[in-house]
Amino acid sequence: MDLLPLYSSIWQRYNAAVRRVDALFRYFNGVVQKMNDALPEKVPIALSNGRLLEIQLKTIAELGCEIWKWAVHYFLRDERENIVLMRVLSAVNNWRTGECELSKDEIDVLSITVGSYYACDALQSSSFDSDASESDEEVDSGLRFSVLELETPFRELTKEHYRIESLKHIRLGDTSSYIKYVSIPEHY
């Protein structure tokens, strides 16, 4: 878990700094909110070269989150996957299978790392209230960072883990012994 302590430490410092800057620009954020309430979701802006650019006004905290998501996570990828996420999933899987025990510090690091994904969603949730007119595709197209980057792979890993564990216990005995096994809380 060498990368994860570094990631969680940097995230904590970055998050605190963004919150401080956001608090300093409270008036600016209020103006942005008023403009967002009065304007459509994306505002067309004419550039000097005659091109039209659509922008969405964001608060300082939202901008800070965008920088974190797309700059930090972009550089923490190899060709296929998010390296931080793969380390988190690997640590959880190793713990589940009994390959390692996690110390309190390691659990704290995992918690902070996972929390960074949800913090970005929380900052943006106000601009994407659950509007019935929005389809899931519109919401998923860059907003629900935690679901796209974290929850989907975590659920797949969890599903596979319990599928394998269930098959193992079913092969060892009959159905009634399996039901007794899964009814004991410490097994899950």
Task: List alpha helices for the chain, DSSP H.
Answer: 3-24, 26-38, 60-67, 73-75, 83-96, 104-124, 136-140, 145, 152-172, 175-182
**Residue type (1 letter), 54:** E
Residue whose tokens read 């008023």: 34
pTM (2 decimals)? 0.68
Taking only the tens place, the pLDDT of each residue in 119-147 is: 877 766 543 333 333 444 444 444 466 67
Taking only the tens place, the pLDDT of each residue in 42-54 is: 666 667 677 777 7
Domain boundaries, the chain: 3-143
Low-confidence ranges of the chain (pLDDT < 70): 1, 40-46, 48, 79-80, 123-146, 185-188
